[in-house]
Each structure stands twice: as C-alpha cells, then as structure tokens.
Amino acid sequence: MSKREDPMLLTAERLFAVEGLVTIVTGAASGLGLAISRTMAANGADLILVDRNETELRRIGEEIIPGAEIATVDVADPDAIRRTVDDVIARKGRLDVMFANAGISGGAGIRLPQGHIENVDFAAWNDVIAINQTGAFATIQAAARHMKAQRGGRIVVTASVGGLRGSAATAYAYAAAKAAVVNLVRQAALELATFDVQVNAIAPGFFRTGLGGGRLLDEAATAPLHAMVPMNRLGIPDEIAGVSLLLASPAASYITGSVFTVDGGITAA
C-alpha cells in the first residue's frame, strides 16, 4: 500500500503533523506571528522566532515559548534575512517551513482625512513597501533558495484582505503592498511547484493585534470596523492557528498558490 493510500494518514494526528519541522516565523514577537509560533511550538516544531523587537522577542523566548531560538532581524534588509536563513541551514541542515509574516500598518485608511489620496506621505509609503512588500519578498527568496536545493518546503505569507479588494479601512501603501504580496505568492508557487516547494498566503481580516500602535486592541476605536464584518467582530490572534497549521502540514500536500481568507466573512460581501 502506498503512503498516500494509508488510511492512518487521514487521522488528524497524521494530517497535521509538524513535529520536528524546522520553522522560521517572522514578526513572531506579537499578534498573528506569535499565535502562529505558539501553534507550531505546541505541535512540536523546531522554531526560530524572528522579529526586529529584540526586547519582546527575548521575553517570548524565555517566558512564552521556552526553547525557541530567537533572532533579531529587520526583514526590510534582504541581506540580514538571508544571513539568518543561511545560519539556520548551516546549523540544522534544512528549513522546512517559513512564515513570512512580519508587517506594519499602513496608517489611516481612506475613510479618514489623513488617509485621503492628497495626504499620502512618501516617507510612510516607502516604509510600508520596504517592510510589507520588499521584506516579504526577501523572506520568500531567502527560504526558496534552500528549499529549491533541498527539493521541499512550505512558505506561508501573511497577506491581508486589504490586498484583495478596495476598502475604506485600508491605506494606499498597505493596499498596494498586500496586493503585491498576493501575486508574489502565486508567482513563486508557479516557479517552485516542481521542486515540491509550496507557497501560499493567509489573508486576515481585522484581528486584535499590536498592528498600528495598539488601535486594533482598543474596543471603542474598533467599534466602527464591526459593521464591515459579517460576523460583527474582530478576530483574535489564535483564530489564525488552524490555517497556519494546515499550510505547514501534510494535509496541504496538494495546495499551492492559494490565498486563504480568515476574515469573519468580509470578502464574502
């Protein structure tokens, strides 16, 4: 009987097995990246947590996910993320999963005067593109080089529903960068498909994280967002856990180039 026909593979334990997988998560010190990291750690992955916030990263490596390695890296620096991945390969011999998750807020959406087109500031624009777009690509590239050579791996990129359609809550730079990331995922999925390297995106809706300096954690400030969500609430970070585990696991063996919305129904409208 071939491995694929083995009925035991259909147990949740086998379908979602990630134990021992060498896994890097960027933006691991907060919000969705932390939830992804906790999920992978809870299921036995061999984790390297990457973030530019060294203080928070250290705290998480000591208190929340003890045993996880940490690396302070700015993903907007392609050489830095490449060196980090090369170092993991040198020490562990392989990289199985890369979560390219680090990102920043684009600031005010177009529903607010500060977000109107005439007020877009190019210094802020450049920061968002450097981290959310170039940083995501640099992270994909750093992982793909090795995954191609080892003929296997998973890359999961945190995009956004703000990259899938226009929205009053989204800033121009954020909309541009996240749309770019969605198509970078498809592009990389095509090139890497025959190398058994699968590349997918998660597109979250609104989640209660530290994005944007804590505005999303503020009940009153986020009340107007509820009306934009069919489920009438924001997501909590752990609600990203299931799809992240899926995309890293054997259950996703035939999934590549896909975008998974986790948005309480926003994009169904």
Ligand X SMILES: NC(=O)c1ccc[n+]([C@@H]2O[C@H](COP(=O)([O-])OP(=O)(O)OC[C@H]3O[C@@H](n4cnc5c(N)ncnc54)[C@H](O)[C@@H]3O)[C@@H](O)[C@H]2O)c1
Residues that bind ligand X (CB under 6 A): 26-27, 29-33, 51-53, 73-76, 101-104, 131-132, 135, 158, 160, 204, 206-207, 209-211, 216
Residue pointed to by tokens 């009925």: 7
172 is catalytic: no
User: Which of 6, 269, 210 shows the shortest CA–CA distance to 261?
Assistant: 269
What's the closest the beta carbon of residue 38 comes to ligand X, in angstroms?
12
Q: CA–CA separation, 164 vs 107, rounded Å?
A: 18
Nearer to ligand X, 17 or 209 (CB): 209
What's the closest the beta carbon of residue 172 comes to ligand X, in angstroms?
14
Nearer to ligand X, 26 or 43 (CB): 26
Nearer to ligand X, 153 or 264 (CB): 264
Tokens encoding 153: 């791996």
Choosing from 99, 125, 137, 174, the catalytic residue is 174
Q: Is 7 exposed, middle or buried (0-12, 13-18, 19+ CB in 10 A)?
A: exposed
Nearer to ligand X, 17 or 85 (CB): 85
What's the closest the beta carbon of residue 92 comes to ligand X, in angstroms?
21
The contacts of residue 77 (CB under 8 Å, 6+ apart) are: 138
Exposure string of 220-252, with b = 16+ CB inside 10 Å and e = fewer, is eeeeebeebbeeeebbebebbbebbbbbbbebb
What's the closest the beta carbon of residue 141 comes to ligand X, in angstroms?
15
Enumerate the active-site residues: 174
